[in-house]
Amino acid sequence: MKYVISDVMTITKRQLLQLARIPELLVFSTIQPVMFVLLFRFVFGGSIETGQPGGYVQLLMPGIFVQTVAFTLAATAVGLAEDMKKGLIDRFRSLPISRGAVVIGRTFGDALLNILVLTVMATAGYAVGWRPTSGSLSIFLAFLFLFMFGYALSWIGIYVGLAVKEARTVQSVGFLVTFPLTFLSNAFAPTTGMPKALQYFAEWNPVSTMVAACRELFGLKNEFGATASSWPSQHPLETSLLYMFLLMVVFIPLSIRKYKNTSN
Amino acid sequence: MKSVIAENLVKTYRNGEVKALDNLSLDVEEGTVLGVLGPNGAGKTTTVRILATLLKPDSGIATVAGIDVAKHPDKVRELIGLSGQYAAVDETLTGWDNLVMFGRLYHLGKSASIKRADELLERFSLTDSARRPIKTYSGGMRRRLDLAASLIVQPKVLFLDEPTTGLDPRGRQEMWGVIQELVKGGVTLLLTTQYLEEADQLADEIAVIDHGKVIARGTSDALKKQVGGERLEITVDNTDIHKTQEIVSRISSNAIHTDVRTISAPVSTGSLALMEALRALDEAKIHPLDIALKRPSLDDVFLSLTGHVAEEEVIAQPVKKKRGGKK
């Protein structure tokens, strides 16, 4: 349909307009990641030994970046569930617009918000001593990776939002999934201290491979890996790309189909 | 020509346990208003959702402007407007933002969307609040905006699902005014309501539904006739009750019903009976507190058709329940 692009843009624009109309939303979506940066930097930063020049914050920032974009899953899911509850999705579905436009538009909106959040976090990180040492191309690639990871997770969020429907439940489900995922990883502490089974999980955890990939792109050695010999630890970039590809291949068609078939 | 046709719609939930629609059939003549009247859970919303392409029936056929809603939902969506039970607009955006957004989604150009938004805001007396987030609107204003959103492209058929549920009396009056204006403009409208008075006010024809079925169908007047003719109702002081009953018994040969201080009886001679009663009361020097010739209300209709009153009326007007129960 020739209107697909304009439909998607209208839906995306709606989310940006929300931010313009209620600027507090913007503050709330950026305050939590910034708080995490500060808390981890000053609470753990002093006691975690790293062989890294520049200290813990260098390892921490990629971890927090990944954690924050991982929360996109919950953000997308909650946003969609709220729209459904308020009947807005019903109205959209009664309009002559292309099938995927509403959900695609939402994933774009959430992705654009991520750009903003990442920018604010990078600034906060810089302020507390984070200094990536790689070149600007690598740094750009790292952020592109983060952006894509958030986008891929957004599509799971669409599915969760449509399946669970109740915004509050969605919120809990989102956190129940993303919290363990981000902590059972190399994001904040070395995986070597974990029990064997968890170590294994942490190594294959997409959050770990993403964090490791970003650390590499920011010019760090990935110190928090457990056994450097495992495949995902050796090839974090490739593994992460593979994960993102799989997520999108599975969840984009699944979520669009779910949207078409879902009603309150 | 029929603009809307539903034939033997069946919709069950939870693997057939709950039957929302049980062979429901109805139709709406082009340019007329059909009021679908029923209590909560009767199947009103399910019907609207099927007709508006939001839900697929388990079986049965529904067409809008001759187009099968299940087979060509996209075509149907271009012809309909839908306004639901709750205001389905983005509350964080302003009224203007919302209408422009919906205009864009109806594929009007940018300037056409803006023009249409301004027109509709004006028409629904929302111009002053156009730049405020919907959050700050009153219930009535939200409904008007929601209705405006469903009128962006002149729909051939408009579905209004309980347009005044939850509004205060003033909001309801305003909404009725707006809907009456639309009806004058010749729109084909299917309106659901649990308010008997609302169907009476707005609809050309009424379909009463209960437990997923149409149990009666006709004009408001025809439905009232189905229940019975007019009643003479006189309210008097306690001391005059006995005498008044005597007078009424001379006018009406039917059963007289006394409820506290109100005496009522079916009459067949219309206003003549009223005049006769007044003369007799005057002669007897009785000053009635109230005297009226009453046509049966839709409450009575509902009760006599379903054996139970429409939910809300049970608490609000127990008197009517008793009276209608005699049928």
| pLDDT for the residue numbered B139 | 86
Q: What is the pLDDT of residues A52-81, one digit of tens each?
A: 667 888 888 999 999 999 999 999 999 999
Q: What is the pLDDT of residues B97-110, one digit of tens each?
A: 999 999 999 999 99
Interchain CB distance below 8 Å, A97 and B105: yes
Three-class SS of B125-170? CCHHHCCCEHHHCCHHHHHHHHHHHCCCCCCCEEEEECCCCCCCHH
Interchain CB distance below 8 Å, A95 and B90: no
Q: What is the pLDDT of residues B199-227, one digit of tens each?
A: 888 999 999 998 899 998 999 888 877 76
Pair B195, B164: CB distance under 8 Å? yes
- Answer yes or no: is pLDDT of B197 > 90: no
Q: Do B209 and B236 share a structural domain? A: no
Q: How far is B269 from chain A (nearest CA, A)?
A: 51
Q: How far is B234 from chain A (nearest CA, A)?
A: 48
Nearest alpha carbon to residue B265 among B223, B293, B307: B293
> What CATH number corresponds to the domain at position B28?
3.40.50.300
* pLDDT > 70: percent of chain B: 92
Does some domain include residue B305? no
Task: Determine the average pLDDT of the residues in B42-68.
Answer: 93
Does some domain include residue B263? yes
Q: What is the pLDDT of residues B247-304, one digit of tens each?
A: 888 887 777 778 788 888 888 777 888 888 899 989 988 888 899 888 777 677 777 7
Give the pairing of strands B67-68 and B231-235. Answer: unpaired
Q: Do B13 and B161 share a structural domain? A: yes
Which chain B residue has the Cα nearest residue A259?
B54
Which DSSP letter does residue B297 get? P
Q: Do B220 and B130 share a structural domain? A: yes
Residues of chain B with Cβ-Cβ distance to A22 below 8 Å are: 92, 133
Residues of chain B with Cβ-Cβ distance to A86 below 8 Å are: 86, 88, 91
- Look at A236-250, B91-105, B147-161, B210-224 and tell me which has the smallest mean pLDDT: B210-224
Q: Do B245 and B219 share a structural domain? A: no
- Answer yes or no: is pLDDT of B233 > 50: yes
Q: Which residue has the higher pLDDT, B177 or A175?
A: B177
Mutate to test the interface with A, among B11, B46, B53, B54 (most CBs of A within 10 A): B54
Does some domain include residue B319? no
- Answer yes or no: is pLDDT of B323 > 70: no
Which DSSP letter does residue B275 get? H
Does some domain include residue B234? yes
- Answer yes or no: is pLDDT of B319 > 60: no
Q: Which of B173, B200, B225 is the last residue of a domain?
A: B225
| pLDDT for the residue numbered B103 | 95
Does some domain include residue B21? yes
| pLDDT for the residue numbered A53 | 67
Q: Do B251 and B116 share a structural domain? A: no
- Answer yes or no: is pLDDT of A249 > 90: yes
CA distances for A74 relative to A63, A71, A177, A178, angstroms: 18, 5, 9, 8
Q: Do B162 and B244 share a structural domain? A: no
- Answer yes or no: is pLDDT of A262 > 80: no
Nearest CB partner across the interface for B78, out of A6, A25, A96: A96
How many domains does chain A fold into?
1
Q: How far is A259 from chain B (nearest CA, A)?
A: 11
Which chain A residue has the Cα nearest residue B45?
A264
| pLDDT for the residue numbered A243 | 95
Structure-block tokens of residue A75? 């953000």
Contacts of A253 (CB under 8 A, 6+ apart): none
Q: What is this model's ipTM?
A: 0.86
Q: Which of B203, B225, B247 is the last residue of a domain?
A: B225
Q: What is the pLDDT of residues A124-163, one digit of tens each?
A: 999 998 999 999 999 999 999 999 999 999 999 999 999 9
Interchain CB distance below 8 Å, A14 and B90: yes
- Answer yes or no: is pLDDT of B321 > 50: no
* Domain boundaries, position B106: 2-225
Pair B324, B264: CB distance under 8 Å? no
> What CATH number corresponds to the domain at position B234?
3.30.70
Q: How far is B307 from chain A (nearest CA, A)?
A: 31
Q: Do B159 and B16 share a structural domain? A: yes
Contacts of A77 (CB under 8 A, 6+ apart): A156, A157, A158, A160, A161, A164, A170, A173, A174
Pair B87, B134: CB distance under 8 Å? yes
Q: Do B211 and B239 share a structural domain? A: no
Interchain CB distance below 8 Å, B93 and A14: yes
* Domain boundaries, position A155: 4-261
| pLDDT for the residue numbered B41 | 84
Mutate to test the interface with A, among B11, B105, B150, B151 (most CBs of A within 10 A): B105
Does some domain include residue B326? no
Q: Which of B172, B205, B225 is the last residue of a domain?
A: B225
Q: Do B249 and B169 share a structural domain? A: no
- Answer yes or no: is pLDDT of B317 > 70: no
Does some domain include residue B321? no
Per-residue confidence band for A227, with pLDDT thresholds at 50, 70 and 90:
low
Q: What is this structure's pTM?
A: 0.81
Query: Edge-to-edge, what's the strand order for the sheet holding B18-29?
Result: B18-29, B2-13, B59-64, B67-68
- Answer yes or no: is pLDDT of A255 > 90: yes
Three-class SS of chain A? CCCHHHHHHHHHHHHHHHHHHCCHHHHHHHHHHHHHHHHHHHHHCCCCCCCCCCCHHHHHHHHHHHHHHHCHHHHHHHHHHHHHHCCHHHHHHCCCCCCCHHHHHHHHHHHHHHHHHHHHHHHHHHHCCCCCCCCHHHHHHHHHHHHHHHHHHHHHHHHHHHHHCCHHHHHHHHHHHHHHHHHCCCCCCCHHHCCHHHHHHHHHCHHHHHHHHHHHHCCCCCCCCCCCCCHHHHCHHHHHHHHHHHHHHHHHHHHHHHHHHCCC
- Answer yes or no: is pLDDT of B169 > 60: yes
Contacts of B3 (CB under 8 A, 6+ apart): B28, B29, B30, B31, B64, B65, B156, B157, B188
| pLDDT for the residue numbered B326 | 35
How many domains does chain B fold into?
2
Does some domain include residue B312? no
Q: Do B239 and B203 share a structural domain? A: no
Kindly tell me the sign of the dihedral angle through the C-alpha atoms of B3, B54, B217, B17: positive
